[in-house]
Amino acid sequence: MTSPAGAYGALLSREKPEVIGGEQQNRLYIERLEKLTAKKSVTPAEKKLVALLTVLIEEYEAKHDPVPDAEPASIIRHLMEAHNLRQKDLLDVFGTESIASEVLRGKRELTKHHIRRLSKKFNVSPAVFF
C-alpha cells in the first residue's frame, strides 16, 4: 500500500505542475482543476493537487488579470455587461430566472455547479467567484 506522501509524489510526477507561464497553460490547469473538483470523491493526494493548482492559477491571474475584490454578484454583473448579456441569458447557468435573480441580488449563494458553469461560460478561473 502506498503512503499518502508516496501517492502525492506519484500524482505530482504524472501531473508535473509548475508555475504557469502563459494563458494556454492557465486554461489547461483550470480544466484539470474543474475535473478534479467535479469528482464525487477525491483522494488525499488529489486534494493536495487541487490546493496546489488553485494557488498556481490564482498567482498567475493576480499578475495577468487582476480582479479587484468584489462580491460574486458584482463580478457576475460585470461579466454580463462585458458580454452584453441579460439575466435570462444565464438560464444555462442557474436553471431558472428566479435563482439568477436571487444570486444577482446577493440573496442566494453560488453553488459549486454555478461556479463551474460561470467559469466555463465566461472563460475565467473558478477562483474569481470566491
Number of domains comprising the chain: 2
User: Do both 113 and 83 map to the same domain?
Assistant: yes
Task: Provide the residue range defining the domain that includes 104.
Answer: 72-129
* Stated pTM of the model: 0.53
pLDDT of residue 25 exceeding 60, the answer is: yes
User: Do both 15 and 54 map to the same domain?
Assistant: yes
Assigned C-alpha cell, 9: 509524489
User: Do both 54 and 79 map to the same domain?
Assistant: no
pLDDT at 70: 82
pLDDT digits (tens, 9 = 90+) for 74-104: 999 999 998 999 999 999 999 999 999 999 9
User: Do both 56 and 76 map to the same domain?
Assistant: no
pLDDT at 68: 61
The mean pLDDT value of the chain amounts to 89
Q: Find the largest Cα–Cα distance for the chain.
A: 54
User: Do both 35 and 76 map to the same domain?
Assistant: no
User: Do both 49 and 90 map to the same domain?
Assistant: no
pLDDT of residue 4 exceeding 80, the answer is: no
Q: Cα dist. 71→14, 90, 126 in Å?
A: 36, 18, 14
